[in-house]
A and B are shown apart, each in its own frame.
Chain A
Amino acid sequence: MSERIPSYPGTPLKERDFTEGRVLHTWWVPKADYAWDAGVAIGRFLAGLKEGRILGVTCPQCRRVLVPPRMVCEHCFVPTSHWVELPGTGTVKTFSICTVRWDMERLEVPIIPAVIALDGAEAPTGGGGGFMHLLGEVEPTPEAVRIGMRVEPVWRPAAERTAAITDILYFRPLKEG
């Protein structure tokens, strides 16, 4: 703010001004329902999940194995070609231990979102394929979870799968060997 300007507009209100009816206001709750088709590439990916398989697709030009799969490699801008099945195991690239919900209510059990780089989808330039999912069967503490941790998917029982990302319940630490 400039020293040439002596005073500034803007009138602060408190939450109480609303709850105690001191400020005139209206309230509205929107209802907005959507049905999203999965699309061509993600549709095939979801069909794979229902069979307990994680699929990637290859860019014929840069040879990246793209996960999540897509119709076009956005680096090369050419159509993707060969579909490959990945082993499902991977490495935690980064994670958080989240103790609040979106509306800032505390969570009783922390949730551990992570970005998982999948084996077989590493790119030589970095930026390998992978997606966000949750970690489980591990203590939700920064001491127990670590970047670089090897993980494997825990699948929903086959009969209960719905061709959704939640067909994988979570990833858990991989017991090597």
Chain B
Amino acid sequence: MKMRRVAVVGAGMTKFVRRALETADELSWQATRMALDSCGLTLDDIDAVASGTAPDAFDGVHMNSEYLCPGSGGWNKPFIRCYVGGGTGVMAVIHGWYHVASGLFDTCLVVCEEKMSSCQPHPQGAFLTIFDHTLERPLGPNLLWIFAMEMNAYMQRYGLSHRDIALVTVKNRQNAKDHPCALLGEDITVDDVLNSEVMAWPVRRLDVSPISDGAVAIVLAAEKVAHRITDKPVWIEGVGWSLETAYWTNRDLSYPQQVEEAARMAYQMAGITEPRKQIHIVEPYDPFDYKELHHLEGLLLADKGKAPEMTALGITRRDGDLPVCPSGGLLGVGNPIAAAGLMKVAELFWQLRGEAGARQVPGNPKRGLAQAWGDLMQVGTVVILGVA
């Protein structure tokens, strides 16, 4: 398989807010313009656009990406959307990557947007159709059920307490204090999490990331073009994705096997044989606090059941041996689904260029991994970025 090298050369994002005045298309435009400005390009320099946005039902707009095309810079260009639920924000990067790696295009914009606030009375309503129409929806489910049952299975399997898990929310909200686009950057304690309202036991309110509006965009370029655009290209070294069965009640919910499959594909492409030594920063998907731990294990960066211990020892702090979610993650920055996944890739871009300001991970990190996850707990998407 002969693929061209692809670099990230620019990035931009809007604030993540509970409810934005701007329309979905206007948010897309603001992030896209910032991404182009950041690397001194104009839309004339862009060959194709890869768009990502989660369920149409949030916006109430059929084929939402077509609606986002103008602000995303897609006018009269090869423009296509990918959508794999929560995995979308990282999958859109993979989608853009093979546009360029294949040799078909020299540059590609990747634009992800989510406007969850339009859906009334609560965007969870848009998720109800994820459940099987014949066997599950008659039981009156809500989306929290699957997370609560997965968290319970994980805790039971390894004898974990809620206290072990709540540290993730505390860390990520603290990290988010240094992110100028964050919705929930603040100091909280483990007891704040444990005393917050029970929603679906064991899940409490502060275990969950906030619903948000926002957009993120990055610019991809083939190697020969990337060197002309910037002297600090950040290379896409590996990509991977995998989908588990829809029969989720037949699976072992204590371990995200699909994340491992995606990670192994990406590690192989990147030539990584010892991920715990060769990955310097991780941005795993953290819509719930236990998910960060689950995903560290699926990514083979922690032994099964041991990610909580790594967190307790401070290893995953921004100044620890393996910084995890230095951005503040979905728990701290916010969770506009597709945009949140792409925010993680943008964070690696800024971190690896040494431009992350107050959030900068010390020690000149050379390689980072971003991961997202979603659908009916099915999909794993992984991107590995590095600087030479």
Contact = CB atoms under 8 A, between A and B. Distances in A.
Chain A complexes with chain B: yes
Interface of A: 1-5, 8-15, 23, 27-28, 30, 34, 36, 38-39, 42, 46, 66-68, 70, 74, 93-104, 111, 113-115, 123, 126-134, 142, 147, 164-166
Interface string B147-170: 011101100100000000000000
A3 B357 contact: yes
B124 A102 contact: yes
A108 to B, nearest CB: 14
Contacts of B152: 94-96, 147
Contacts of A104: 121-122, 124, 199
B284 to A, nearest CB: 20
B144 A115 contact: no
A159 B11 CA distance: 63
B10 to A, nearest CB: 10
A74 B14 contact: no
A96 B30 contact: no
Nearest to B147: A96
A109 B27 CA distance: 41
A2 B11 contact: yes
B140 A111 contact: yes
Interface in B216-270: 245, 247, 249-253
A2 B9 CA distance: 13
Interface in B17-67: 17-22, 27, 30-31, 34, 38, 60
B128 interface: yes
Contacts of B16: 10
Nearest to A121: B250
A1 B200 contact: no
Interface in B251-306: 251-253
B13 A142 contact: no
Q: Which 10 A-B pairs give the minimum distances between C-beta atoms?
A: A96-B148, A10-B15, A3-B357, A102-B142, A10-B14, A11-B21, A9-B30, A12-B17, A97-B201, A94-B153
Nearest to B351: A2
A9 B356 contact: no
Interface stretch (B96-104, B131-139, B188-196, B364-372): B131-139
Contacts of B21: 11-13, 23
Given A9-B30, A13-B19, A96 B139 contact: no
A133 B139 contact: yes
B136 A94 contact: no
B202 interface: yes
* Interface secondary structure of A, over-half rule: loop
Given A102-B125, A142-B202, A9 B22 contact: yes
A70 B247 CA distance: 10
Contacts of A8: 13-15, 34, 180-181
Nearest to A131: B249
B78 interface: no
A98 B200 contact: yes
Contacts of B180: 1, 8
Contact of B20 (A10, A67, A127, A133): A10
A10 B18 contact: no
A39 B201 CA distance: 34
Contact of A15 (B19, B179, B181, B253): B19
A34 B153 contact: no
A98 B201 contact: yes
B136 A12 contact: no
Q: Which of B27, B145, B249: most chain A Cβ within 10 A? A: B249
A67 B249 CA distance: 9
Contacts of B70: none
A111 B148 CA distance: 13
Contact of B139 (A38, A74, A100, A165): A165
A10 B124 contact: no
Given A104-B122, A104-B124, A166-B139, A12 B19 contact: yes
B134 A38 contact: yes
Nearest to A168: B139
B20 A74 contact: no
13 contacts: A1-B350, A8-B34, A8-B181, A9-B14, A9-B30, A11-B17, A67-B250, A93-B153, A100-B144, A104-B124, A132-B135, A132-B145, A165-B134
